[in-house]
């Protein structure tokens, strides 16, 4: 530690799982890295791993104080923060100010920060240093061998960071659209399109990552509901369901989440020999980004029911004692059974695909509405492309989304793209059959069913909100518009008067 080294290209502050692997990835791509953590043991572990992987001289040097770290870096200094979101980010920024950071230096927040906090920080630290942000997806392995990177903030700062970020990002083969895997240290850099693209002004990258995580919540829950329908509805064993998922992964449902779900369902418990999934407690954790996405959709008035239902599903899962109690008191009134087992499995594949389309449509509409509010010019085709590899929701399906936005950059809604409209037309009847079966079986499927309602809502030209507006006007004189008058005109019916006369309010 505290080496007298040649000038390093970049500093990494925070050597937890993500920070250490990010630092090793950068070093693995030929850049000299200076690293810092308050825990000296983490510094030593990172140095030792770098020594083992890269030999002598090591490309990663550890430092136990920030002034020495800053002195080791080329100017303008480039510093990456891998610390918990929230107060820790500001604490490190203040420590860097105390250590002598300069106005031209760049500090990159890579945590799951709330996007509005990122906007505030760029303003707060303006004139002191350049505060930049880059959301990261892909987990531990992604950070080490190729994450999906969503940077935003100053264009000048991005220009300085871009060569490193494009080098360490996951890659996609431009011909096939498939990820180019890199899974071991010391391999030659892989060629392909980097899953790193400048998203927009401050906060944009973290907002896009937040929506990514909301889609991730929904995608995971959709797969879990399919598992539940097959296990509880058809009585299939975990390993058999894993085989079904593995088969689906070779088709339109190809994705990282489908792949790992098949693997999980095939895994035996080392302690009991039972299917591992059956001994895992059914209480799901969450770190908040899915909740932020649902809250943002409500604030914007942008419907994202499948994402919200995925958050609620995790909340319900955590009420285990209450569920256990009520399961003894509340019973299904039907002894319904699915007659055509194979037909149901095929229909479920279609239902899962349709629900996934609706889920992604919700996420992209949410990004579009917030971009309009913030004045951002988001490139949705690029966002879909960088999600094809490195991130948790990586899937072959994303190429089709990118193609849709390439063909029509001003596409109002993903469901309106001809490729998706045709897909839904082909599969929707089986989607409806699955929802009907699930209801009759008494199996909860909040995401699959809410996605269908979302689709049906958008294909319905006249919704019952006319009655709702009548109700609001009746009890609160909230007024209503008429179908036979200009939209700007408001009317109120004097419900308590006789006769009930109509009043034009404006």
Local confidence pLDDT in tens for the 506 residues of the chain: 444 445 899 999 999 999 999 999 999 999 999 999 999 999 999 999 999 888 766 789 999 999 999 999 999 999 999 999 999 999 999 999 999 999 999 999 999 899 999 999 999 999 999 999 999 999 899 999 999 999 999 999 999 999 999 999 999 998 888 888 777 787 766 789 999 999 999 999 999 999 999 999 999 999 999 999 999 999 999 999 999 999 999 999 999 999 999 999 999 999 999 999 999 999 998 878 899 999 999 999 999 999 999 999 999 999 999 999 999 999 876 789 999 999 999 999 999 999 999 999 999 999 999 999 999 999 999 999 999 999 999 998 999 999 999 999 999 999 999 999 999 999 999 999 999 999 999 999 999 999 999 999 999 999 999 999 999 999 999 999 999 999 889 999 999 988 999 999 98
- Among 47, 122, 193, 216, the active-site one is 216
Instruction: Give the pLDDT of residue 181.
Output: 78
In whole angstroms, give the CA distance from residue 337 to residue 228. 15
Say if CB 284 and CB 314 are below 8 A apart. yes
In whole angstroms, give the CA distance from residue 375 to residue 373. 6
CATH number of the structural domain 465-504: 1.20.5.320
Q: Which residue has the tokens 């140095």?
A: 47
Comma-separated ranges of CATH 1.10.1040.10 domains in the chain? 209-458
Q: Which H or E element spans position 502?
A: strand 502-504
Which residues face 79 on adjacent strands? 11, 107
In whole angstroms, give the CA distance from residue 371 to residue 302. 12
Q: Which long-range contacts (CB under 8 A, 24 or more apart) does 82-87 make?
A: 82/12, 82/13, 82/14, 82/15, 82/16, 82/18, 82/19, 82/22, 82/110, 82/111, 83/13, 83/14, 83/19, 83/111, 84/111, 85/111, 85/112, 85/113, 85/114, 85/117, 86/113, 86/117
Pairing of strands 148-152, 179-180: unpaired
In whole angstroms, give the CA distance from residue 357 to residue 360. 5
Say if CB 472 and CB 487 are below 8 A apart. no
CATH classification (class only), 10-202 = alpha beta
In whole angstroms, give the CA distance from residue 37 to residue 65. 8
Secondary structure (DSSP) of 286-345: --SHHHHHHHHHHHHT---HHHHHHHHHHHHHT-HHHHHHHHHH---S-----S-HHHHH
- What is the widest separation between alpha-carbon atoms in the chain? 93
Q: Which residue has the tokens 């980010």?
A: 89
Q: Which residue has the tokens 């106005």?
A: 103
- Among 20, 42, 171, 209, the active-site one is 209
Q: Looking at the domain 209-458, which fold is it?
A: 1.10.1040
In whole angstroms, give the CA distance from residue 296 to residue 132. 22
- 130 phi and psi angles, rounded to 5 deg: -90, 110
* Token pair belonging to 43: 């510094």
> For the packed helices 17-28 and 40-54, what is the interaxial angle rounded to 10 degrees?
30
Comma-separated ranges of CATH 1.20.5.320 domains in the chain? 465-504
Verify whether residue 209 is a known catalytic residue.
Answer: yes
Instruction: Give the pLDDT of residue 56.
Output: 64
Instruction: Give the pLDDT of residue 334.
Output: 74
In whole angstroms, give the CA distance from residue 478 to residue 432. 37
Nearest one of 217, 88, 95, 106 to 151, comparing CA atoms: 106
Pairing of strands 491-493, 10-13: unpaired
The torsion region of residue 186 among left (phi > 0), alpha (psi -120 to 50) and beta comes to: left
> For the packed helices 256-266 and 238-248, what is the interaxial angle rounded to 10 degrees?
160
Verify whether residue 128 is a known catalytic residue.
Answer: no
Instruction: Give the pLDDT of residue 145.
Output: 93
Distances (CA, A) of 356 to 182, 254, 362, 431: 28, 12, 10, 11
Tell whether pTM > 0.75. yes
Secondary structure (DSSP) of 133-181: EEEEESHHHHHHH--EEEEES-HHHHHHHHHHHHHHS-EE-TTT--EE-
Comma-separated ranges of CATH 3.40.50.720 domains in the chain? 10-202
* Token pair belonging to 380: 């949705």
3-state secondary structure 407-457: HCCCCCCHHHCHHHHHHHHHHHHHHHHHHHHHHHHCCCCHHHHHHHHHHHH
């Amino acid at each position: 530690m505290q080496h007298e080294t040649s000038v390093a290209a970049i500093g990494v502050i925070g050597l937890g799982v993500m920070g250490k692997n990010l630092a090793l990835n950068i070093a693995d791509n030929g850049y000299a890295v200076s690293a810092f953590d308050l825990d000296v043991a983490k510094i030593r572990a990172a140095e030792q791993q770098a020594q083992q992987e890269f030999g002598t001289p090591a490309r990663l040097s550890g430092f136990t104080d920030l002034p020495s770290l800053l002195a080791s870096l080329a100017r303008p200094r480039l510093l990456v923060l891998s610390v918990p979101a929230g107060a820790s980010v500001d604490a490190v920024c203040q420590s860097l100010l105390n250590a002598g950071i300069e106005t031209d230096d760049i500090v990159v927040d890579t945590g799951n920060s709330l996007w509005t906090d990122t906007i505030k920080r760029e303003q707060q630290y303006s004139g002191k240093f350049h505060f930049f942000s880059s959301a990261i997806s892909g987990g531990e392995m992604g950070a080490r061998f190729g994450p999906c990177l969503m940077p935003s903030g100053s264009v000048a700062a991005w220009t300085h960071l871009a060569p490193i970020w494009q080098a360490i990002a996951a890659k996609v083969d431009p011909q096939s659209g498939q990820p180019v895997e890199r899974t071991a240290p010391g391999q030659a850099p892989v060629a392909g399109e980097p899953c790193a693209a400048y998203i927009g002004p401050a906060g944009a990258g973290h907002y896009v990552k937040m929506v990514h995580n909301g889609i991730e919540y929904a995608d995971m829950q959709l797969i879990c509901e399919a598992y539940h329908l097959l296990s509880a509805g058809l009585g299939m064993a975990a390993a058999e369901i894993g085989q079904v998922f593995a088969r689906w992964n070779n088709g339109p449902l190809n994705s990282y989440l489908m792949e790992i779900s098949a693997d999980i369902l095939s895994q035996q418990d080392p302690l009991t020999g039972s299917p591992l999934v059956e001994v895992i407690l059914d209480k799901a954790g969450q770190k908040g980004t899915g909740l932020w996405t649902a809250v943002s959709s409500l604030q914007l008035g942008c419907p994202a029911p499948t994402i919200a239902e995925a958050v609620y599903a995790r909340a319900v899962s955590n009420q285990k004692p209450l569920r256990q109690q009520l399961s003894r008191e509340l019973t299904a009134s039907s002894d319904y059974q699915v007659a055509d087992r194979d037909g149901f499995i095929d229909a479920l594949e279609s239902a899962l695909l349709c629900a996934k389309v609706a889920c992604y449509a919700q996420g992209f509409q949410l990004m579009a509405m917030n971009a309009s509010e913030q004045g951002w010019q988001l490139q949705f085709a690029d966002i879909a492309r960088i999600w094809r590899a490195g991130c948790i929701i990586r899937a072959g399906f994303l190429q089709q989304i990118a193609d849709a936005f390439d063909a029509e950059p001003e596409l109002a809604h993903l469901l309106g793209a001809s490729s998706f409209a045709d897909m839904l037309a082909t599969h929707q009847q089986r989607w409806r059959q699955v929802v009907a079966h699930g209801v009759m079986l008494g199996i909860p499927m909040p995401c699959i069913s809410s996605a269908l309602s979302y689709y049906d809502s958008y294909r319905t030209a006249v919704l019952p909100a006319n009655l709702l507006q009548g109700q609001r006007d009746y009890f609160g004189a909230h007024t209503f518009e008429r179908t036979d008058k200009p939209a700007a005109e408001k009317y109120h019916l004097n419900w308590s008067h006789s006769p009930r006369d109509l009043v034009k309010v404006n």
